[in-house]
């Protein structure tokens, strides 16, 4: 079922992202995993690492376009990358902040099902 699917997983440097990337690659998916620093990233067998910072619009676009150029499509997006925002619990001050907006944008941009083409940015639509 996962064989020959193209998977983009953000945040594969460690933890759940790394383990997920490794598992899906072992099961036959073509996996692209994103990291913020390629020089510090440990290789993962059968996973193609690429540079992406989910808090940077250009980095997101460049990373997704790289996958599309190399694989022609993105079947599955696992948006695992994390970042931290400090503030009081229940406060609304970070809603609409640049990192939150970019993170939500990436989640919506490559949704596989339940989304219309209108929800995806134009640069991601050709593979649909």
Q: How far apart are CA 68 and CA 62, in angstroms?
A: 10
Look up tokens 């490559």; give the residue. Answer: 110
The domain locations on the chain are: 6-83+94-127
What one-character DSSP code corresponds to residue 41?
Answer: P
The CATH number of 6-83+94-127, from 3.40.50.300, 3.40.50.620, 3.40.50.720, 3.40.1520.20, is 3.40.50.720
pLDDT in tens, the chain (128 residues): 899 999 999 999 999 999 999 999 999 999 999 999 999 999 999 999 999 988 888 898 899 999 999 999 999 999 888 766 666 555 555 555 555 655 555 555 544 444 444 445 555 555 54
Pairs from 42-45 (Cβ < 8 Å, separation ≥ 24): 42/13, 44/12, 44/18
């Amino acid at each position: 079922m996962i064989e020959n699917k193209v998977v983009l997983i953000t945040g594969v440097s460690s933890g759940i992202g790394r383990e997920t990337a490794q598992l899906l690659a072992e099961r036959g998916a073509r996996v692209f995993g994103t990291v913020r620093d390629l020089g510090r990233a440990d290789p993962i067998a059968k996973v193609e690492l690429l540079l992406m910072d989910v808090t940077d619009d250009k980095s997101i676009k460049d990373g997704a376009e790289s996958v599309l150029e190399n694989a022609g499509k993105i079947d599955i997006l696992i948006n695992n990358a994390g970042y931290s925002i400090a503030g009081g619990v229940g406060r609304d001050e970070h809603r609409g902040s640049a990192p939150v907006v970019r993170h939500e944008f990436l989640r919506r941009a490559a949704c596989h099902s339940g989304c219309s083409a209108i929800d995806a940015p134009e640069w991601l639509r050709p593979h649909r």
